[in-house]
Amino acid sequence: MISRTAIAHLQEKLGATNVAYEKEDLLVLGYDATPGVHHLPEVAVFPTTMAAVLAAMEIALREGLPIVPRGSGTGLSGGSVPVKGGMVLCLNRMNRILEIDEENLTATCEAGVVTLDLFNATATKGLFYPPDPGSQKISTLGGNVMEDAGGLRGLKYGVTRDYVMALKCVLPDGSILTTGGKSVKDVAGYAFKDLLVGSEGTLGIITEVTVKLIPPPQAKRTFLAYFDDIRTAGAAVSKIIAAKIIPSTMEIMDRATINCVEDYVKIGLPRQMAALLLIEVDGHPAMVAEEAEGVEAILKAVKAAEIHVAKDAEEAAQLAAARRTALSALARVSPTTLLEDATVPRSMLAETFAEIERLTEKYRLKVGTFGHAGDGNLHPTVLCDERNAEEMQRAHAFYDDLYAKVLGWGGTVSGEHGIGLAKKEYLARQIGAGGVRVMKRIKDAFDPEGRLNPGKIFDEHDPCTRAHVEEGFRVSH
Amino acid sequence: MSRTEDKLGNFTPQDAPTYEAVLQCMRCGFCLPTCPTFALTGRERSSPRGRVALARAVAEQQLEFTAAVKEESFFCLDCRACTTACPSGVRAGEVMEICRSQSHQQFPLGHVGKSFREFILQRMLPDPDLLEKSMLPARLYQRLGIQWLVRHSKLLKLGPAWMEKAEGMMPHLGKPLRPQLAELTPARGEERGRVGFFLGCVMTLMYPEVSRQTVRVLAHQGFEVVTPKQAKCCGAPHLSEGDRQSARELAMFNLDLFLAQDVDYIVTDCAGCGAALKEYEELLEGAAEHEKLARFRGKVRDISEFLSEVGLRSAGLKPVNRSVTYHEPCHLCHAQGISRQPRELLGQIPGVELREMNEASWCCGSAATWGLKFSKESRQVLDRKLENVKQTGAEILVTANPGCQLQLAWGAREAGLKQEVRHLMELLGEATPE
- Indicate which CATH number applies to the domain containing A280: 3.40.462.10
Confidence (pLDDT) at A461: 63
pLDDT > 60? residue B159: no
Q: How many domains does chain A have?
A: 4
Same domain, A315 and A440: no
Residue B273's nearest CA partner among B305, B237, B242 is B237
Pick the CATH number of B184-309 from 1.10.357, 1.10.287, 1.10.3470, 1.20.1050: 1.20.1050
**Given this model, what pLDDT does residue B173 score?**
79
Whole-number Å distance between alpha carbons of A146 and A196:
7
Contact B23/A327, CB-based, under 8 Å?
A: no
A74 to chain B nearest CA, in Å? 6
What crossing angle do the helices spanning A349-362 and A389-408 adopt, rounded to 10°?
150
Question: Residue A255 domain-assigned?
Answer: yes
Residue B113 clears pLDDT 80, i.e. is over it: no
Alpha-carbon distance values, A188 to A181, A209, A432, A441 (Å): 11, 19, 30, 22
Predicted local confidence at residue A78, as pLDDT: 95
Among B28, B41, B45, B66, pick the best mutation site for testing chain A contact (most A Cβ within 10 A). B28
Q: Which residue of A has its CA nearest to B62?
A: A475
What CA–CA distance (Å, rounded) separates B335 from B237?
Answer: 15
CB pairs under 8 A between A and B: 93
pLDDT at A40: 95
- CATH number for domain B3-106, candidates 3.30.365.10, 1.10.1060.10, 3.40.50.2020, 3.40.50.720: 1.10.1060.10
Residues of B in contact with A325 (CB under 8 A): 30, 87
Q: Does residue A244 belong to any structural domain of this protein?
A: yes
Q: Under 8 Å CB-to-CB from A389, ≥6 apart: which residues? A: none
Residue that wins the pLDDT comparison between A35 and B108: A35
Closest of A352, A250, A345, A245 to residue A292, by C-alpha: A245
Burial class (CB in 10 A: 0-12, 13-18, 19+), A50: middle
pLDDT band at B143 (very low <50, low <70, confident <90, very high): low
Q: Are residues A262 and A141 in the same domain?
A: no
Q: Tell whether A352 is covered by a domain.
A: yes
Q: Is B140 on the interface with A (CB under 8 A)?
A: no
Q: Does residue A418 lie in a domain region?
A: no
Domain B314-431 is found in CATH 3.40.1350: no
Which of A167, A194, A212 is at the close of a domain? Answer: A212
Q: How confident is the model at residue B157 (pLDDT cuts 50, 70, 90)?
A: very low
* Longest alpha-carbon distance in chain A: 71
Instruction: Tell me whether residues B62 and A473 touch, CB distance under 8 A.
Output: yes
Among A20, A35, A329, beta carbon nearest to B88: A329
Contact with chain A for residue B61, Cβ under 8 A: no
Convert the pLDDT of each residue in B79-94 to its tens digit. 999 999 999 999 999 9
A24 vs B29, B68, B88: nearest CB: B68
Q: How far is CA B137 from CA A86, B134, B142, B148, B207, in A?
A: 59, 7, 9, 15, 17
Cβ pair A337:B53 closer than 8 A? no
pLDDT digits (tens, 9 = 90+) for B280-289: 999 999 999 9
Q: What mean pLDDT value characterizes chain A?
A: 93
Residue B114 to residues A174, B104, B314, B400: CA-CA distances in angstroms? 55, 10, 51, 33
Is A456 within a domain? no
Best CA proximity match to B95, nearest among B63, B69, B64:
B69
Looking at the structure, tell me whether residues A235 and A332 fall in a common domain.
Answer: yes
Q: CB distance B29–A46 less than 8 Å? A: no
User: Where is average pLDDT lowest: A325-329, A338-342, B17-21, B168-172?
Assistant: B168-172
Q: For all residues of chain B together, what is the average pLDDT?
A: 90
CB contacts under 8 A, B 189-228 vs A, are none
List the 437-456 stretch of A: residues with Cβ below 8 A of B. Answer: none
- Positions of CATH 3.40.50 in chain B: 314-431
Query: Does residue B3 surpass a pLDDT of 50?
Result: no
- What tens digit of pLDDT does each residue of B296-307 get? 999 999 999 999
Q: What whole-number distance in Å separates Cα of residue B208 and Cα of residue A34?
A: 52
- The residue of chain B with its CA nearest to that of A337 is B26
Same domain, A313 and A253: yes
Q: What is the SS3 assignment for B223?
A: strand
Q: Three-state DSSP class for B121?
A: helix
Judging contacts by C-beta atoms under 8 Å, the chain B residues touching residue A32 are: 27
Is the CB of residue B337 less than 8 Å away from at least one CB of chain A? no
> Would the ipTM clear 0.90, i.e. be above it?
yes
| Angle at B434 (CA atoms; ends B194, B421), nearest 5 degrees | 90
Q: In angstroms, what CA-CA distances link A276 with A157, A235, A247, A306, A316? A: 22, 13, 16, 9, 14
Give the other-Cβ count within 10 Å of A396's Cβ: 13
- For residue B174, the model assigns a pLDDT of 81
In terms of CA atoms, which chain A residue is nearest residue B44? A28
Could you tell me the residue range of the domain that residue A187 belongs to?
Answer: 97-212
Residues of chain B with CATH 1.20.1050: 184-309
A19 belongs to a structural domain:
yes
* Res B353 pLDDT > 90: yes
Same domain, A113 and A190: yes
| A206 and A230 together in one domain | no
- Shortest distance between the Cα of A434 and any Cα of chain B, in A, equals 35
Where does the pLDDT of residue A476 fall: very low under 50, low under 70, confident under 90, or very high at 90 and above?
very low
Say whether pLDDT at B172 is over 90: no
Q: Give me the residues of A, 82-111, that contact B with CB < 8 A.
A: 92-93
Q: Cβ contact (<8 Å) for B20 and A22?
A: no
Whether chain B has a CB inside 8 Å of the CB on A24: the answer is yes
Quick one: average pLDDT of A167-175? 95
> For residue B28, which residues of chain A lie inside 8 Å, CB to CB?
33, 74, 135, 327-328, 331
The values of phi and psi at residue A89, to 5°, are -100, 100
Is the CB of A135 less than 8 angstroms away from the CB of B29? yes
Q: List the single residue in A29, A74, A332 with the smallest CB-CB distance to B29.
A: A74
- What pLDDT, on a 0 to 100 scale, did the predictor assign at position A428? 93
pLDDT of residue A36: 87
**The whole model's pTM is what?**
0.92
Average pLDDT over residues B31-37: 97
For residue A192, give the CATH number of its domain: 3.30.465.10
* Whether B30 and A137 lie within 8 Å, measured CB to CB: yes
User: Last residue of some domain: A212, A243, A266?
Assistant: A212
Mutate to test the interface with A, among B20, B25, B27, B40 (most CBs of A within 10 A): B27
Q: Do B44 and A73 touch (CB under 8 A)?
A: yes
